[in-house]
Amino acid sequence: MLTTIERIAFIVLALTSAGFAIHGIKTIVDSVRKGRSAPELKNIPASLIKAGIMVLFQQTIFKARKILSTIHLGLFFGLITYAFVNLVDILEGFIPGFDLVYGGKHLTFPFLPSGIINAFNLIADVMSGALLFSITVFLVRRFIVKDKRLTYRENVLLNPKVKAGGQNKDSLVVGVFVILHVAARLLGQAFRLTDGADPFMPIASFLNGIFGASQTGVHVAWWISLCWVLYILPYITRSKHTHFTVGPINLGLAKQNPRGQLDPAVPAGEKIDPGAKFIHDLSWKRVLDSYACVQCNRCQDVCPANFAEGASLSPSALEVNKRYLIKEATFGSHPERLLLPLTETVISPEAVWACTTCHACVSVCPVGNEPMADIIDIRRRMIVDGAELDSGVQNALQSLATNGNWMSKGKRLRGRWAKEMEIPVKNATEEPVENLWFVGDTASFDERVVPNTKMVARIFQQAGFDFGIMYQNESNAGNDVRRVGEEGLFEQLVEQNIAAMGKAQFKQIVTTDPHSFNTLKNEYPQFGGKFDVKHYTSVLVKLFEEGKLTVKNPLSGYKVTFHDPCYLGRYNGGFTAPRKLLELMGVEFNEMPRNCENSFCCGAGGGQIWMGKVAPGERPAENRIKEALTTFEKNPSDKKQLFIVTCPKDMIMYSDAVKTTGNEGKIEVRDLIQLIAEAVGLEAPIISLETEAVAS
Amino acid sequence: MNIVVAIKHIPSIADDLPVKGNNVDFDSVDFVLNEFDEQSIEQAVLVKEAVGGTVTVVGVDMIGELDAVLHLALAKGADKAVKITGDDPAADSHQQAKWLAEAIKGMSADIVFAGVQASNDLDGQIGPMIAAHLDMPYIGGVSSVEVAGDSAMVNKEFAGGVGAKYSVSLPMVVGVQAASKPPRYAPISKVRQVAQTATIEKIAPSGEAGAGLTFKKMAPPVVTGHAEMFTGSSKEVAAKIVELLKSKGLA
Amino acid sequence: MSNDIFVITEHMDEKFSDVSFEMVGKAKELASALGGQAVAVALGSGLSANGFASDSTIYVDGANLAQFNPEAYGKVIEALVKEKSPRLVMFGWTATGMDLAAWLSARLGKPCAAYVKNIGADLTMTCQIYGGKMSADVSPDGDMAIAAVLAGSFPVEAGQGSTAATQIESPVALDGLKIKFVEAIKPAAGDVDITAQTKLVSIGRGIGSKDNVELAEELAKKLGATVSSSRPVVDAGWMPRTRQVGKSGLKVKPKLYLMLGISGAPEHLEGMKGAELIIAINTDKKAPIFNVAHYGSTADLFEVAEAMLELL
Ligand SMILES: Cc1cc2nc3c(=O)[nH]c(=O)nc-3n(C[C@H](O)[C@H](O)[C@H](O)COP(=O)(O)OP(=O)(O)OC[C@H]3O[C@@H](n4cnc5c(N)ncnc54)[C@H](O)[C@@H]3O)c2cc1C
Ligand SMILES: Cc1cc2nc3c(=O)[nH]c(=O)nc-3n(C[C@H](O)[C@H](O)[C@H](O)COP(=O)(O)OP(=O)(O)OC[C@H]3O[C@@H](n4cnc5c(N)ncnc54)[C@H](O)[C@@H]3O)c2cc1C
Ligand code: SF4
Ligand code: SF4
């Protein structure tokens, strides 16, 4: 089809385009490789293939925003189709007589049966339409409807280019590309239809009806269509649309360690500074994240720290800022900006300290990004650099360092609740026990939670479950200390606990606190503490199954909903045991819209419960209580409405939120154990079942 | 500005103090940093932050465990750590002050900080003695220090909130009672990092000085009167206290 | 060499402090045992120092001595001591004496004992060290010694008298001083005056954190008392300085002094020994406070305070 001059011109342009694209790719690779090392990945090809399949079925993107995700299918499959279409178009240009319209009836050398050719034509034609449709929807959403979810809150630190609408420009370029490219290609096909309509090319035939056939048209359309491709390929390496290719790769290289195990503060074999101050202090995977980021803001949607109007934290802004920072340094003229602290370029210090480490952003991300990991690394470095800490956090850390608990209580007092029990509680460091109960700070000291702690002990005793605690030898497990970034203190606590456990004889560890559960189970092994760790909900399920506990008083008078604690649910998949227990209790169960994997954090984790300063506006826990009430409203009855938790911190957060939202009397927060105690009917010596556990 | 902090590693009084012969049984006690030294390190770092310079912390290594203390000081913002390899747990304040003064002589110090006192200062505190050896002015009981040019403005406390402000031309020795801000938290991450990277300069002790005191006896104080102790559970103790107060018309 | 006992007295607002009289009284006793004289030494400007029971009183008058200045005071005292060679020089272990005693010891190369609680006729000194947990008997070598004496160790009355002071000029030139007195700092006004309270609930480091102070405040409220504290609590910023009891804080004499988590360091005792009823709650059964308190318990302060709140 093409003339010799056209061919030479195209080859020259294609080589130039390839040159720019390769330069782009090399720049990306170089930048990623400048990151520090990440934990070793096993069997990368298999993970990549798995990721490829997930991407092909668009599994990760359907985790949220179902409608838009469906429309995104048009873009996704359309562009994949177009990769083939463009190849075929080049062949059409370069091989004389290579013409696929009408099932290939003009082909001088028919190499394929016309059925296949017709199928290809049909798919190309329909997908062109799908592409045009979906891109239009996305452009309308961004530029006309101005979907709020694509914007950031006022207090979020943004790269000046982002603030000036850099992302919109990017989207516009690609949007215009898709429209012009696809339209040109469609028109080109229409111009080829010299013999009238082709039933396998309905859209092209329709256009042919309007514009007719034209040999010049074919040439012009071909050039427009393919020049766009030559322009866009290098452009993509410099825009947010790297996610086309890096996204799936990133997904394939995603973390293989358990979710609940943070990467080491100092990467193996690296220089000794923990965490990250500058962008290339982050591991290479965190750098790659920024190229993979779709900039879709799904993570921002689910972030409890982005929830209030004045919020300063947005996990997506973090990724976007990283990306723009690198881009300015590599493709732009500001390499010096790489030497600016991340707290000035990608995330404000205030935002760094707002993260609850709830993992929602990581779980929801369609391309396997871990904004939370960046935040923790930044905290880690801020801590060693002596950044000024919130006074509450400083007090908590000071107390943890000296007393082993964050509540400034004497070590000796840790087992005080147990000494008040009528049936003695064994000291596991003095006599062997089957089960070592790791109680945790809140359950040991907080007077609002201690009654529940005693109740767990009573139920264990009633079920003949042999257990002991470590009394003053237990220290805070360190989950939140690690997430606040105080790795050294975390290590100290781990060492203390492992030493104490070394003195004890037990078969497995049981915890009531999901935070302790997470770190004991997933992180202690990194430090040589390999134990079998169970959350008490799964232990109780087993006790019921074995008949050691039985429901004597079914609780059909209660209407309950359940809040999945981040560190039991999203982190460790402990969704079924608590629900199973609720089912056994015979309560009326109402599931909140945000449940299990999508549970909404109470706002206490990652050290937030220690913070002296609280961000203004509605708090996540308050929002959650409202969600529970709305859920109950769908199913009205006069049953007593209960908000069930299984985490001591939740008890505190939600009891408080019920009060601050003025919903006392409408909904009551209870620990699962209180329901169980009531349902199984505690035998003497009885302890008060009054709900004094609720904050007074 | 060359800022020097002279510290003391002293027996901890948190637990029982065993006696051996006429002195504390140094083999069976923990050693800790003198509590007022914690304040003086903080004050030194605050001065550095205000006017620039380097903070050098120097102490006598009494039992070979001073490194941990020096690492903590470095983590709090000191720049250099020096230990005098005394290795004599019974070295008294006179001896320590002499060694410290000899060490500090080579540091061209502009200001030397010391804790106002230590619980084992039987023969007086090291601060004023270092000042005497170095022929520098000394003020103790200090609760804030501001350096401007070659002089310092210090607040000294007397009693009942009464104090006085002095201007002192440097170099001087300051005995810190309390830093102008509560001591900062030293992140253990930092302490551990410092422990791996920092070099602690070792100096051999030089110069001799003795307290000139002959120990006759050391024992827990003979108690002339002891409180009448309420025993039982906390609730019972509370009840007894309330009863006592009511009987005296105090509640 | 003489067998004289020098007492370096202290004063504020033209009034000599109790510790000065306490030492003079003791000095007289020692001097008569040793066959020397008890000499009170006062430094100041335009001061009358005629109120001691000493055998003689030296009053050094000089403009530079109007206010306490460790450098000026040190120079004068050093010169006097060198000239008169007393057997013993007594300082108070106070905000002023603490600046001078050890300094003088190092200057002269003479032994010094601090935290002195008692002095025997043979100059054996009993010192209360390790925060009051240990008592050491030491005797100074050589022919001159320095003692820094804890306030409240001896009776005040024995030192009160009417010996006329001999006023002298400073034996050394006091120009070119490196330390200059700038101004006095007055106590912050506005808060309650704890010295005027009849009941105090006093908290120490055992209270653990600023948040827990609230518990003490609740208890105080129920008792009609005011909260006071030890020094570390103030230094940590948990209580205002106006509430500090002790050597560098205020001296209090309430009817009730209920102590929660205070160890009973000598510096604290100085401020509250005179209280009529002292009750101490401290988990350390060896805490020195139990040697001073009238009633005590080793229960946990939080538990006791909470239980009391319920009972009141
Ligand atoms: C500007 C200034 C200048 C000074 N100049 C000199 C000086 O020239 N020479 C000198 O020797 N000292 C001087 N001092 C220090 C002062 O006189 C005492 O040495 C110091 O107050 C002793 O404090 P202390 O904690 O050691 O108390 P102590 O020596 O233990 O005793 C103080 C005595 O005063 C009484 N007292 C103190 N405060 C109160 C109160 N609020 N209510 C009731 N009774 C109280 C007590 O009964 C006690 O007996 C000066 C102080 C200032 C602020
Ligand atoms: C020049 C100078 C002046 C000073 N002036 C003063 C002064 O004016 N006032 C003053 O107070 N100090 C003063 N000090 C400080 C003094 O030396 C001591 O450091 C201080 O008195 C100790 O305070 P504390 O008893 O609160 O703390 P600590 O000595 O640490 O004692 C805390 C006590 O609480 C107990 N405890 C802990 N937890 C509990 C619990 N849960 N229940 C019950 N008990 C518990 C512990 O067993 C311990 O005995 C001064 C020091 C100097 C050098
Ligand atoms: S971990 Fe949770 S709080 Fe932190 S950035 Fe992610 S979603 Fe937000
Ligand atoms: S990090 Fe993931 S979820 Fe967040 S904007 Fe980027 S691609 Fe979307």
Same domain for A425 and A406? yes
Nearest CA to ligand 3 atom 2: A358
Q: What is the mean pLDDT of residues A434-440?
A: 96
Q: How far apart (Å, rounded) are the C-alpha atoms in residues C225 and C277?
A: 14
Same domain for A649 and A638? yes
Q: What is the DSSP letter of C250?
A: B
Burial class of residue A505, CB neighbours in 10 A (0-12, 13-18, 19+): middle
**Which pLDDT value is given to residue A686?**
52
More confident residue, A46 or A413: A46
Using a pLDDT cut of 90, give the percent of chain C over it: 76
Residue A250 lies in a domain: no
Question: Which residue of chain C has the CA closest to B229?
Answer: C296
Same domain for A564 and A686? yes
Residue A275, φ and ψ in degrees, nearest 5? 65, -160
Domain count, chain B: 1
Q: Is C57 in the pocket of ligand 2 (CB under 6 A)?
A: no
Per-residue pLDDT tens for A364-374? 999 999 999 99
**Which pLDDT value is given to residue A639?**
92
**From the CA of C84, how far away is ligand 3's center (Å)?**
77
Same domain for A371 and A435? no
**Which pLDDT value is given to residue C247?**
81
Q: What is the mean pLDDT of residues A196-209?
A: 93
Per-residue pLDDT tens for A558-604? 999 999 999 999 999 999 999 999 999 999 999 999 999 999 998 88
C183 beta partners: B165
Q: Is C310 on the interface with A (CB under 8 A)?
A: no
**Which pLDDT value is given to residue C212?**
87
In this structure, of A7-11, A216-220, A276-280, A385-389, the range with the lowest mean pLDDT score is A385-389
Q: What is the mean pLDDT of residues A98-110?
A: 86
A105 closest CA partner among A90, A94, A93, A121 = A121
**Which pLDDT value is given to residue A692?**
40
Strands B163-169 and C179-185 turn out to be antiparallel
Q: What is the mean pLDDT of residues C139-147?
A: 95
Q: What is the mean pLDDT of residues A373-385?
A: 95
- Does residue A410 surpass a pLDDT of 50? yes
**C-alpha dihedral sign at A278, A283, A287, A293:** negative
**Which pLDDT value is given to residue A268?**
82
Residue B215 lies in a domain: no
Q: What is the DSSP letter of A257?
A: S
More confident residue, A661 or A687: A661
- Does residue C254 surpass a pLDDT of 60? yes
Confidence of residue B13 (pLDDT cuts 50, 70, 90): confident
Per-residue pLDDT tens for C76-116? 999 999 999 999 999 999 999 999 999 999 999 999 999 99
Whether residue C300 and residue A395 make contact (CB cut-off 8 A), yes or no, is no
Confidence of residue A363 (pLDDT cuts 50, 70, 90): very high
Whether residue C209 and residue A408 make contact (CB cut-off 8 A), yes or no, is yes
Residue B241 lies in a domain: no
Q: How far apart (Å, rounded) are the C-alpha atoms in residues B30 and B42?
A: 23
**Which residues in B lie closer than 8 A to residue A264 (C-beta atoms)?**
none
Q: What is the mean pLDDT of residues A33-46?
A: 93
Average pLDDT, chain B: 92
Whether residue B141 and residue C127 make contact (CB cut-off 8 A), yes or no, is no
Question: B143: helix, coil or strand?
Answer: strand
Using a pLDDT cut of 70, give the percent of chain A over it: 97
For residue C111, give the nearest of B125, B157, B212 by CB distance: B212
**Which residues in C lie closer than 8 A to residue A412 (C-beta atoms)?**
283
Chains B, C: CB contacts under 8 A, how many?
284
Q: How far apart (Å, rounded) are the C-alpha atoms in residues A296 and A320?
A: 10
Q: How far apart (Å, rounded) are the C-alpha atoms in residues A275 and A267?
A: 9
Q: What is the DSSP letter of C64?
A: G
**Which pLDDT value is given to residue A691?**
39
Q: How far apart (Å, rounded) are the C-alpha atoms in residues A362 and A345?
A: 21
Average pLDDT, chain A: 91
Residue B163 tokens, joined: 């104090």
Q: How far is C61 from chain B (nearest CA, A)?
A: 20
**Which residues in A lie closer than 8 A to residue C211 (C-beta atoms)?**
408
Mutate to test the interface with C, among A391, A393, A395 (most CBs of C within 10 A): A395
* CA distances to A119, A169, A181 from A175, in Å: 27, 10, 10
Domain with CATH 3.40.50.620 in chain C: 5-169
Residue A164 lies in a domain: yes
Q: How far apart (Å, rounded) are the C-alpha atoms in residues C132 and B220?
A: 8
Same domain for A285 and A196? no
Q: Is B196 on the interface with C (CB under 8 A)?
A: no
Domain count, chain A: 4
Residue B9 lies in a domain: yes
Q: Is C247 in the pocket of ligand 1 (CB under 6 A)?
A: yes
Q: Decide: C36 and C69 in contact? Cβ < 8 Å.
A: no
Q: How far is B84 from chain A (nearest CA, A)?
A: 28
- Does residue A685 surpass a pLDDT of 80? no
Instruction: End-to-end CA distance of chain C: give it in Å, rounded.
Output: 65
Q: How far is C199 from chain B (nearest CA, A)?
A: 8
Confidence of residue A684 (pLDDT cuts 50, 70, 90): low
Q: What is the mean pLDDT of residues A27-38?
A: 94
For residue A677, give its domain range: 544-695
Residue B220 lies in a domain: no
Same domain for A318 and A169? no
Using a pLDDT cut of 70, give the percent of chain C over it: 99
* Residue bearing tokens 């030479």: A8
Same domain for A180 and A99? yes
Chains A, B: CB contacts under 8 A, how many?
45
Which residues are CB-contacts of B136 (< 8 A; sequence separation ≥ 6)? B112, B130, B171, B172, B173
Query: DSSP per residue over A490-537, as a string?
Result: HHHHHHHHHHHHHH---SEEEES-HHHHHHHHHTGGGGT----EEEHH
Confidence of residue A614 (pLDDT cuts 50, 70, 90): low
Residue A249 lies in a domain: no
ipTM given for this complex = 0.91
State pTM to two decimals: 0.77
Which residues are CB-contacts of A135 (< 8 A; sequence separation ≥ 6)? A75, A175, A178, A179, A182
For residue C297, give the nearest of B129, B161, B229 by CB distance: B229
Same domain for A24 and A90? yes
Residue A41 lies in a domain: no
**DSSP H or E run through C82:** helix C70-84
Ligand 3 atom closest to Cα of A362?
6
A263 closest CA partner among A373, A383, A365 = A373
- Does residue A235 surpass a pLDDT of 70? yes
Question: CATH topology for C5-169?
Answer: Rossmann fold (3.40.50)
Same domain for A549 and A537? no
Per-residue pLDDT tens for A455-481? 999 999 999 999 999 998 999 999 999
Q: Decide: B56 and B81 in contact? Cβ < 8 Å.
A: yes
**Which pLDDT value is given to residue A493?**
97
Residue C84 tokens, joined: 């008169």
Residue B239 lies in a domain: no
Same domain for A160 and A118? yes
Residue A258 lies in a domain: no
Q: How far apart (Å, rounded) are the C-alpha atoms in residues C86 and C91?
A: 13
**Which pLDDT value is given to residue A694?**
37
Q: How far apart (Å, rounded) are the C-alpha atoms in residues A217 and A123?
A: 22
Same domain for A560 and A485? no
The answer to whether domain C194-311 has CATH 3.40.50.150 is no
Nearest CA to ligand 2 atom 31: C263
**Which pLDDT value is given to residue A634?**
92
For residue B197, give its domain range: 2-203
Q: How far is B233 from chain C (nearest CA, A)?
A: 7
Domain with CATH 3.40.50.1220 in chain C: 194-311
Per-residue pLDDT tens for C6-26? 999 999 888 999 999 999 999
Boundary-marking domain end, from A194, A223, A244: A244
Using a pLDDT cut of 90, give the percent of chain A over it: 74
Q: What is the CATH number of the domain that holds B119?
A: 3.40.50.620
Boundary-marking domain end, from A514, A543, A572: A543
Same domain for A69 and A115? yes
Ligand closest in space to the Cα of A321: 4
Mutate to test the interface with B, among C78, C89, C90, C98 (most CBs of B within 10 A): C98
